[in-house]
Amino acid sequence: MSHGKLVFAMPSSSAEAFEAFFNHTIRLTWDTLLDVNYVEGGGTHPYVGAITVNGGRGWKSALSMRTRFLTYDPPRHASAVLVEPMGPFARWGASLRFVDAEDGRCIMTYTFTIHLRPRWLGTIFDPLAGVLFRSETRRRFSAMARYLSAQRSHERLLGP
């Protein structure tokens, strides 16, 4: 089992960051991990109880998963868990919290837990999975920050 907590400063408000992550149409424009991301049954945003499909890009397709949302409270907090074991994951859960800072940015806290399968593999590789997951998460949220920064620059150019 691997646990982690990563904190990021995003160049936008909580509402803008929350929208960039949870609007699945927008998310596919910047997310470095996903090639497929949708809510089963339709819609662009999850909700409590919604099941989402998250398909990895390229070799990361082996990391695809279906998740169920436990919490969805825009623009403050959302959490989800793996619906059933998939690929290397026996269990997975994550939570995102957003807090506005006084300088117009927001602080985004990502907390996760991963359990690999089979159990003996997890015992050996869970720590490595945690390192790799942290690295990929940093890459993804750096891409999200670049997207949000570009959006903000574009809005400044267009003016009110």
Residue 21: burial class (beta carbons within 10 Å; 0-12, 13-18, 19+): buried
* Domains located in the chain, CATH noted: 2-158 (3.30.530.20)
Report pTM. Answer: 0.89
pLDDT along the chain (160 residues), means of 10: 89 97 95 93 96 87 89 98 88 96 95 83 71 88 96 66
Q: Token pair for residue 100?
A: 């506005």
> What is the biggest distance separating any 2 CA atoms in the chain, rounded to whole angstroms?
58
Contact yes or no for 83/51 (Cβ under 8 A):
yes
Contact yes or no for 47/67 (Cβ under 8 A):
no
